[in-house]
Copies of this chain bind each other. A is one copy, B any other.
Amino acid sequence: MSSTADLLARRNRTIGPYSPLFYREPLQFVAAKGVWFTEASGDRYLDGYNNVPHVGHANERVVRALADQAATLNVHTRYLNDRVIDYSERLLATFADDLDRVFFGNSGSEANELALRISRQLTGATGVIVSDYSYHGTTIALAEMTTGLETREPLGAHVRAIRIPDLDRDSRPEADVLAATLSEVDAAIASLQEAGFGVAACLFDPLFSTEGMPRVPEGLLPEIASRVRVAGGLVIADEVQSGFGRTGSHMWGHELTALSPDLVTMGKPMGNGHPMSAVVTSEPVLDAFGSRNEFFNTFAGNPVSAAVGEAVLLEMEEHGMMARARSLGRTARAHLDGVADSYDFVRAAKGTGMFLGLDFAVDGAPAPELAARVVEEMKARKVLISRIGRDQSVLKVRPPLAFGEAELPILLDALDASLASVRA
């Protein structure tokens, strides 16, 4: 095994110096099991950050499904194959009745691209409404909609980015905040129509993860959706971060917000790290797109991915992971609410289930440097978290759903100690 310095040098000469790394001093892991990493030094780190290894790093059922199916058959969907249909049925059973068809892909970017492509074709429009600090993928079309990280592409002329309000940062009455945002949406729609783009879709992560988990007015997303539909657009819920039971209360983030999407995209946790994604939609939408395009994705829906996806769903179910996320999330959120009350520089606790945060602010202004210090303090205590939000001032606590009762006190103790250390 390489030393860290040597590995960094080799990394710079292959995948390059811009490939992002976490932490001031990067970590080099050699193994992981459940919610624990083992570093090259032998030290163990608790994973409070990674949502991709959803049912736990190196989950035995998932690895067995992967290995067994790969040793048996791995091929595209141009031949008939039981596994992908079994899995499709199991996945679709977690959705409302009208969301009963699925396209598979290999990444969240592919899923969002396809949802956008379908929306453009079905509406004949190109205009898109997104949140003004969001991220949905790496492709050209998605880069033109990106406001949540640095891309060289300017925001597309056909894109309108709406500021998602945060009641924790807004002193106006909730109804006024809602009305202001909806009038921003109305103006965006009018502007897209006047410019001739029309409205193809709105695309939102129901939890507004990248945005920093704002506490939004009741009914915000359904109200936006109904306006977009009146303008002829489709409604896309990006569940790459909020799906698969992460909220604890619902399998899908859009259910939590009472949004009824036309298209639901999913990725990251779907295959526990195996590259796979999907767009779930209705029969009319699938038919309208499928009948007009020869659409085929070589790797998508292969039996190995299907076996892995099924193992993830079975593992979640057998271990009651969603219910556990709910109960642990409540305990954790209560603790974070207490922290927010105790620390001047913590504006509010954020999130639900196994997606939680703390918003740092000093004299009403976001305090990203405090959040950064807490992230590093947590790392020094061998607990991994990160930060998000337009100001990078919100701690991002988003562990594998395999996170258990034994681990929660370790994370919260490390957080308390880190906060005390930052205050000192």
Contact = CB atoms under 8 A, between A and B. Distances in A.
Interface string A1-30: 110100110110111111111100011111
| Residue from A80, A141, A152 whose CB has the most chain B CB atoms within 10 Å | A80
A101 B10 CA distance: 11
Contacts of A81: 28-29
Interface in A283-304: 283, 286-287, 290-302, 304
Interface stretch (A68-76, A185-193, A214-222, A224-232): A68-76
Nearest to A384: B79
A152 B293 contact: yes
B15 A88 contact: yes
A107 B7 contact: no
Contact of A20 (B16, B74, B286, B294): B294
Given A52-B298, A88-B14, A22 B78 contact: yes
A149 B298 CA distance: 14
A53 interface: yes
Interface stretch (A161-169, A171-179, A258-266, A268-276): A268-276
Interface in A109-159: 109-110, 113-114, 116-117, 120-121, 138-141, 143, 149-153
Given A15-B84, A110-B107, A295-B18, A139 B139 contact: yes
Most B CB contacts (10 A, CB to CB) among A13, A79, A100, A302 go to: A79
Most buried by B among A1, A74, A297: A74
A50 interface: yes
A319 B206 CA distance: 51
A113 B112 CA distance: 14
Closest 3 interchain pairs by CB? Answer: A18-B290, A67-B67, A14-B88
Interface of A: 1-2, 4, 7-8, 10-11, 13-22, 26-32, 37, 50, 52-53, 57-58, 62-63, 66-67, 70-82, 84-85, 88-89, 92, 100-110, 113-114, 116-117, 120-121, 138-141, 143, 149-153, 267-268, 272-276, 283, 286-287, 290-302, 304-305
